Amino acid sequence: MPSKEEIWQAILASFPEPHEADPYVPALYCSQMADALAALAKVYKEAFADAAYRIRKEGITSAVYELVEHFRESRKVNVALVREDHPDLYAALVHLDARTVQSILGAGTL
């Protein structure tokens, strides 16, 4: 796997930074590269999410690799995905009474 520096050097070799006297030219280049790389990062994040989902779903194991996922804290739940992947958890949570839901999520969220 190439390092961050190796990827950076490959990008610079393919798309060299302009060295113009007008400071707007390099600014535009950097802006457009940042947009392109942000879009490309989304592609790789989606590909990783798909691969990780398949590994979890099919119970694939490896003697060499360990799947380490980074989750951000979120209060939104994909109910259909919970129902499909974790039916036991779904069954335990879907019948909560209003008072319990309020204590878990907080009155401000509701």
pLDDT tens for the chain, 110 residues long, are 899 999 999 999 999 999 889 999 999 999 999 999 999 999 999 999 999 999 999 999 999 999 988 777 767 888 888 888 888 888 887 777 778 878 888 776 65
Q: Residue 5, SS3?
A: helix
Q: Residue 106, SS3?
A: coil
The predicted structure's pLDDT at residue 10: 96
Tally Cβ neighbours within 10 Å of residue 13. 8
Q: What b/e readout covers 61-86, taking b as 16+ CB neighbours within 10 angstroms?
A: eeeeeeeeeeeeeeeeeeeeeeeeee
Give the amino acid at 44. Y
DSSP state of 64: S
